[in-house]
Structures are given as structure tokens and as C-alpha cells.
Amino acid sequence: MRKIFDFHGGIHPAENKYQSVRTPIAQAGIPAQLILPLAQHIGAPAMPVVEVGEKVLKGQVIAEPVGFVSVPLHAPSSGLITAIEDRQIAHPSGRTARCIVIDTDGQDEWIAHSGTDNYRELDKSELINRIRNAGIAGMGGAGFPSAVKLSVRPDTRIDTLIINGTECEPYITADDILMRERADKIIAGAQILSHLISPGETLIGVEDNKPEGIAALTEAAADTDIQIVIFPTKYPSGGEKQLIEILTGKQVPSGGLPSDVGIVCQNIGTTVAIRDAVIDGRPLVSRVTTVTGDSVAEPQNFETLLGTPMGYLLEQAGYAPEKNNRLIMGGPMMGFTVPRADVPIVKTTNCVLAPTEAELPTPPPAQACIRCGTCSEACPASLLPQQMFWFAQGQEYEKLEQHNLFDCIECGACSYVCPSHIPLVQYYRASKAEILQQRKDAEKSEYSLKRFEARQERLAREEAEKEAKRAARKKAAEAKAKQAAEQGATEEDPIQAAIERAKAKKAAQAKGASGENELEKLEKAVVNTRKRLDTATAKLETAKSENPDLVDALQTGVDKTRAKLAAAEKALQDYQQANALESASAAAEPADAAQLAIQKAMAAREADASKSPEEKARDNLTKLESRLAKSQAKLAQSRDAGNEEKIIDALVSTVERLTGKVEEARAELAKLAPAAEPAAAAAEPPSAADAAIARAKAAREATAAMSPAEKARDNLQKLEARLQKSTEKLAAAREAGDDTVVEALEASLEKMNAKIDDARAKVAEMGDA
């Protein structure tokens, strides 16, 4: 005879079990509609894999698990998916949750499925996968995924496997009727579990108020090593920790798991479901549910499809709503009131209770606590319900956790014995929900903070990389300049070298070292500023045709450089005038190559001044024709590159304006030239300009004839072509180490990418339309 232990506290409420075990398990039938919540278990809700309007068969997967602590959901019967939406579910708060709604077709057609009798030949991991894929979660009320509970770590030794057949809650007889009618399946399921976790012993614990069930189990387990252990009836001996203490004398530590003391527990209904999944290949699509209470004419147990509305099930038992004051899902101790009768049956629903007011009176209003201590004596978890009640009222959640709030199994024993009728369990349940919500909020806040910090680190890292690239380019440019300087005067421009020598000689003859230095500085400033102006002007001209986004920045640079050149030239001129006598003396000496160049330039100026009006007009016409040719070339390049219409229009306007000036210059020249020459000039048509204008007008007309969608696609192609060219120029600028151009091109590329994104969105919008 095995030794039986006892646990602290406990009560003996009226059982009221005999009403629902007078008849065998009945089939509830197929309701017109099934409502299947995606969260019928502890852990992450399942994810739908079907769509509205889809036909499904019985046993077909309609929602897959999300993560390790989750289970799939199967269609309890064949039919049509009509909705995936929020519906009222079985929950103490009366909240809604995501559900899959099936309109049944009455055929109850199964999907192909098969099991195996030779499960001992299968790998244990495959067996656990079969249990997981069958969607089995704890059916005693907790709903913890069975596959997770059975996935014991290899280094954890399991001494005892306990099958919980206690069913201590008043009114409920779902496990009792299973023991009476399906004892062989319970033993087969226990053997599968024993094979999976290899315990030292396997026990089935049953209270002594179930003699028929005990007799059936004893007979079924006769040729096995499974022990049927009987112990006195006391509520709540069906609690997991309480049952472990009754059968083994071990106490699970606060916040711990049964596996910490070498024990695994499974419910009777869960054990039968595991057997059906492994041997028959049948997923969890139905369960035995007790329907009882004085408001039903025929209290009994039904084999009920998951998702069956409570109202349909009550009708099968002869429900009289006029007698009923409330509907309870579960028993009178741990169950909860549901607001309406269309709440669906789920995997953890072991009872639907429809009492009358006389049978289960509405609790009277709560009175003040008299500090009698009866609740502490009744608590099976050895807690201090009175103290926890005060902490819950004051929302002192930290103190509640310090007093082991989460060890409370919400059995209701404290509320049952309270002379002041205080709903203690409701206070504890609400406090648990608030603490869990605070933890979730804290986790979200911490996660957001980590994301923000990671983003800041990424931005700082990117900025550091950019700064390192800038420094590298600067260093390369300095090294290049230093190398060029070290190559010596032999590689310098001979004209510039001659100018420098002339300047040095003039300064030496004019005055001493201070005067020489001053003149040298002024002349160098003029030369260097002129070089910078030429370079800036060239870049500006290039940008006008190829990179319009840089024009403003480069134009500003050109204006500033031109102003600096004017200032440098004026300073040099003032200095030369102040030293006119010395300069004249120096000019009399034999001139070197640079002096000859200067004299040639001055002679050219004098020659230009001495030109006749006709010659000046001819030179002006030549310059205008040269500018016109360049503008025409830029227009052609811009059109080939696919630039924006506003850029092409601007170039067309420039070509037209220059063409007009050329015509005016020709007319002016015709007035000054002999009569024959103007006639000849007039006979020459400005074919290049006319052709450019004609092409521009043709492009405008072609664009105007395009549809909005064609214009959007054409604009996108042009922008992508510009982006490609700008990217190539950026690469060249980086290689050359030109920081100013690199930064300007990077800014231009950012703007261009934004324009391309907008253009693509517009093209997509046009395509959808």
C-alpha cells in the first residue's frame, strides 16, 4: 500500500457530481457554425493559414503555431470559412479575440490521417512532433502545450509520471466518465507518455469518490506497471502542486516547475488525446464537456466539437433559460461567468454550468474584512490571502509579488470560507493581470530604448566612416600636392616660370627685400586667383548641362572668385602705379620670355582698340557664333542624357536668345560691310541654330502628346540616366580627392534619389489607375 501524504488547507464543498454521470457520453452533434479562437492555450496565438471563402475538411490545419510555446488549430468539422474576425471568447474579463468562423456543411468529412501502433519504434522527437502537430494542450484548465511539457532536457531525470484523475471541482465529471468508458485509452496514453520520458514510476491519482472509474482503471492497468493511487476527497487536491505533494510528499518550490523535483503531470483528458494523436493520427478537434445545473433537464457529458457555441450545447441538454440566473464556464469554484450563450467551447472547457438562483445564489455584497484568518487556514498554497487582499486593494504590486502572488492557483477556497463574502480570487486575478501588463510595457519600453540606442550607434558609426573618408581624401590631396611641389621647377609651366623670374628681377631692382616680397605676393595672388576662376568657370559650364543641382553653388563660387580677382588686380595696379619710375626703369632692360608675353598681350589690347567698327563687329559675331555652337552642343548632350524638361527648356531658350543676338550681329555687320558682303552674309542661313530650335520644338510637341503615364515613365527614365552619370562623376571626384565637388555631388545624389522615388511612386500610381 502506497503512503499518502496531505497538503495544507483545503475545503469540502458539496460535490454535486452524481447528476451528470447517470448516462453515457453523448454526441453533441454538428452545430451550424463553429467559432474557433486562435488562442486556446498558454503562449503565442496560432496564425491563420486559411482565407475567407475556403473549403476545409475535418482535421485540416487552419492555423499554425507561432514559436515554440504554441500549438496549431484544426477544423473540427468540414465546411466553409466565412470569417476571420474578433468574437467574444471564454475569458474572465469577457474580452474579444481573433477567431476563425466555419459554417459547417453537415458532412463531417475527414482529411486523410493515420497513426501507428508501433510507436516504440519511432524516435522520441518524432513522437513529440506528432503530439505538437495534433494541437494538444493541457485539457484540465491550464492549456499549457503538451509537447513543451514533454520536451524534458536530457540532463533532467524524471522519477515520477503522474496522470491526474482527481477532478476535485464540484459538478464536473468529464474525467470521471472518461475513466468509466475509456479506461483502456487512458492506460494506452499513459504508456506512450512513459515511453517518452522514461520515468521511474507511473501513477494515476484518483479521489475515492469515483469508485466506478477506479474499478475500470484498475482492470485496464492489470497487466502493466502503472499504479492506481486512491486518496481521500478534498478540494483542491487536483491542483498540480497539491497532487504531487499527496502522492510523493515532495513540494514544488515557489516559482518552480514539477520537473525541478523530477515529476511530470498530465491530465486524464490530455492523456486520451495524446493516445488518439499517436495511434489513430487524430488531431484534437473535440473534447468531453460536462453540461449540468438545475437549469438543464438532462445533465450529462457530451463529446463536443471545439468551437461549438455554449447555447447549442445547452439546447442538447434541455436548457431552460427562464430558470437560469447566469451561465458559468467551468465549475462553481474556479469557473467564471460568461456574458452570452454564443461563447465557444475551447480545448480547456471541461464544464458548462447553468445553475438556478436557488442552487447557486448570487453572492451578497462584500463586507469589511474581520481578520478572522480563516482564509489562511484554507489556502492550499500556504499563502496569506488577507495580507495579499490589502496589497491588491492598495495596488502595492511589488509587495504582492514578495508574498508569492503567482503561487496562487485561484482555487477559490479563500473566497468560499470568507465570512465577509469578499471576492478574494477576483482581486488576485486582477492584480496578476496588471502585473503582467506592467511587465509587457516594461519589455516594450526596453526594446524601444535598445532600438533607439542601436540607431544612434549606427548613425554615429556612419558619420565616423564619412569623416574617415573625408580625412583620407584630404590626406591624399595633400600628398599629391606635396609630390607635385617636390618635382621641381623643371616641371612647372615655362611661361609661369619666366614670369616669376621677371617679377623677382624687377623687385630686386626696384627696392629691397620688403618691396620684392610685396610685389611677389600681389602678382602671385593675381595669377592664382585667375587660375581658380578659370577652374570654377569650367565646372560651372559643365554643371549647367550635366548637373543642374550644382549650378547655384558653383555660380556663387565663381562670383566670389571673380570679386577676389578684381580686388587682387586693383591691388597690383595700385602698387605698380606707386612704383611707376622703378617699373619704367625695369621695363627698359632686356625682357625675358615672360616680359615678351606681357608685351604681346598689351599689344593685342592696343590692336583691339585700334580696330575699325567693322572689324569689331566681325569679332563680336565670331564670339557669338562660338557661344551659340557651345550652347547647341550642351542642348544635345542634355537631351541625350534625359535631363528634366525644365533644363532642356532653359537650354532651348538660351539657344534662341543667342540666335537672336547672332542675327543682330550679322545685321550690324551688314550695315558696316560693303553691299556685296551683307548680301552674301544674308544668304547664309543659321542652319545649326534653326536645327536646334526645330529639335527642341519637336521634343516639346512629342512630350505634349504623351499621356500622363507615358510622361511619368519618360521622366523616370531621364532621372535614372542622370543618376547614373552623377554616380560616375562622384566616383571620379572621390578618386581625384576633390572634397568640394564630392560633397556637392553627394547632396545632389540625395536629392536625385528622392526625385526618383517620387517618380517611381507616380509611375506605380499611374499603373494602378
Binding-site positions for [4Fe-4S] cluster: 369, 372, 375, 379, 408, 411, 414, 418
Is the Cβ–Cβ distance between 135 and 73 less than 8 Å?
yes
CA 375, distance to chain mean position in Å, is: 48
Cβ-based burial of 714 (10 A; exposed 0-12, middle 13-18, buried ≥19): middle
Task: Phi first, then psi: give them for residue 299, nearest 5 degrees.
Answer: -60, 130
Q: Determine the straight-line distance between the first and last CA of the chain, rounded to whole angstroms.
A: 82
User: d(Cα 203, Cα 226) in Å, to the nearest integer?
Assistant: 6
Beta bridge partners of 166: none
User: Distance of CA 40 to CAs 61, 72, 348, Å?
Assistant: 15, 10, 7
User: d(Cα 716, Cα 644) in Å, to the nearest integer?
Assistant: 10
User: d(Cα 573, Cα 519) in Å, to the nearest integer?
Assistant: 10
User: d(Cα 290, Cα 74) in Å, to the nearest integer?
Assistant: 22
User: d(Cα 396, Cα 408) in Å, to the nearest integer?
Assistant: 17
Compute the half-sphere exposure of residue 744: CA atoms within 13 Å on the CB side of its CA: 20
Return the closest-CA partner of residue 273 out of 288, 284, 264.
Answer: 284
Q: Which residues contact 407 (CB under 8 A, 6 or more apart)?
A: 254, 255, 381, 383
Which residue ranges are tagged as binding site?
Answer: 369, 372, 375, 379, 408, 411, 414, 418
User: d(Cα 727, Cα 746) in Å, to the nearest integer?
Assistant: 9
User: d(Cα 326, Cα 308) in Å, to the nearest integer?
Assistant: 19
Compute the half-sphere exposure of residue 651: CA atoms within 13 Å on the CB side of its CA: 28
User: d(Cα 516, Cα 514) in Å, to the nearest integer?
Assistant: 5
As a three-state string, the secondary structure of 671-737 is HHCCCHHHHHHHHCCCHHHHHHHHHHHHHHHHHHHCCHHHHHHHHHHHHHHHHHHHHHHHHHHHHHC
Is the Cβ–Cβ distance between 412 and 333 less than 8 Å?
yes
Helix pair angle (268-275, 183-197), 10° resolution: 80
Is the Cβ–Cβ distance between 187 and 220 less than 8 Å?
yes
User: d(Cα 566, Cα 121) in Å, to the nearest integer?
Assistant: 98
Please tell me the chain's helix, strand, coil percentages from 3-state DSSP, rounded to the nearest 5. 55, 10, 30
